[in-house]
Structure 1
């Protein structure tokens, strides 16, 4: 990634600005701000339930961002998450906000032995990758045999999007199914993001307040402007139904021959 890459702007620079804004506003703003873009509490509850996450579950959050969803299941279910995230700024933010174990790592080359975790999830990450199969196979490798793999994937509902956000590679549902099948992943349960309850008003208000502080402090910065434009484009595509979020709980079986 380059220094002018909107993906780096959002998930590295703005991620760290999020932690500093929360430090100014108060700890009660941390979880809503850190879960922004990763699904509502109801979505996280649905996915954790479908995956069987419970007290003591060793969960890998790959592409964890600033760590909100992992912290949510740690608090609500007493799970034991470990975070892997390629952006150093997001890792620093996650450590600062929540103090959970986090490592700077590419999701396609995770620094963990085979079968380290009971399960793994990846929220809104697969749709940013060109090589989805290498990433999926690595998730499977670090999960114990038979352990679930959960995902939030944003899929493309049309052949060609009117606006293509830089750094995103939204698969069609057929393309996603082909990638899952090639890696030996069977979908156990799924639901559209729009079919679960949305984010509560108090969470939305808290996240919006954090964004206001970031804009007040950094709105003049070109990195903020690029990240905001990227976010606005994706929000519009989702709002128009051209990109659809799907929650999936999967389990690995036998992959198809390469």
Structure 2
């Protein structure tokens, strides 16, 4: 029997691995940061579609709740001119994001954001909802920190079947019916959506940079149980997506 705490696989994937990723980026070069920091948050074309569909513009104050290593917010900053603020509950993720992108970053859970109502012009949360138990609270907080009529973007991994053959520890995937109820209860109106499979794969240079970062992390930490656990979590997620029993959906909603 394993002596590891049930929450430790999530810590390995979202707290320890980001620090190792930032270490690798520092050695390889800054051009590796955005590809490495976007893993698990959709493709670059999907993120661009989301940014355009949300109406993000130069100077838009964007909150990224559950920002992880900060790659998507940095892509939006560089290509659309937004001013992002990153929030994540994991200290390791926040340290990695600050090291790689030097953006305002706070350690906080999405269930209780440390900002007044309407503090941001727009908000998004990517790949987060399936990792939290308090889904309503996360969505309600996203709605609270933007004004009425503002855009709230989401990447949500949803179940397409009643029962999954397996799932990464700490994940709870809603189905589309549950997701719709959650959005309505949080006063978020769905305006447009897409699936990750609608968008082209990243260019080969993007994949190559991600692979080089991963290879360096494995060289340095190949025998570390934490890396093995994070890899196991990611392999399960990959199989679920490949089999179509979980799909990534990009949603643009309006606060009402």
Structure 1 range deviating more: 157-166 or 3-12: 3-12
Work out whether 1:225 is the aligned partner of 2:218.
no
After TM superposition, the structure 1 = structure 2 runs for residues 104-143 of structure 1, keeping only pairs within 5 Å, are 104-143=107-146
Cα distance in 2 for residues equivalent to 1:159 and 1:5: 27
Please list every run of at least 4 consecutive aligned residues from structure 1 whose deviation after the TM superposition is greater than 4 angstroms. Answer: 1-4
Contact 2:123 2:151 in 1 (8 A): yes
3-state SS, counterpart of residue 114 of structure 1:
coil
Cα distance in 2 for residues equivalent to 1:127 and 1:34: 19
Cα distance in 1 for residues equivalent to 2:174 and 2:80: 32
Contact 2:146 2:255 in 1 (8 A): no
Cα distance in 1 for residues equivalent to 2:171 and 2:58: 34
Work out whether 1:244 is the aligned partner of 2:247.
yes
**For residues 3 and 91 of structure 1, do their structure 2 counterparts lie closer, same or farther at Cα, with a shift above 3 Å needed?**
farther
3-state SS, counterpart of residue 172 of structure 2:
coil
Cα distance in 1 for residues equivalent to 2:148 and 2:187: 12
TM-score between both structures, scaled by the size of structure 1: 0.96
Cα distance in 2 for residues equivalent to 1:2 and 1:134: 25
Q: CA deviation at 1:235?
A: 0.5
3-state SS, counterpart of residue 179 of structure 1:
helix
Provide structure 1 residue ranges, at least 5 long, that are not aligned to the other structure.
254-258
Q: CA deviation at 1:2?
A: 4.6
After TM superposition, the structure 1 = structure 2 runs for residues 1-258 of structure 1, keeping only pairs within 5 Å, are 2=5, 5-253=8-256
Contact 2:147 2:255 in 1 (8 A): no
Q: CA deviation at 1:181?
A: 1.3
TM-score between both structures, scaled by the size of structure 2: 0.97
3-state SS, counterpart of residue 170 of structure 2:
coil
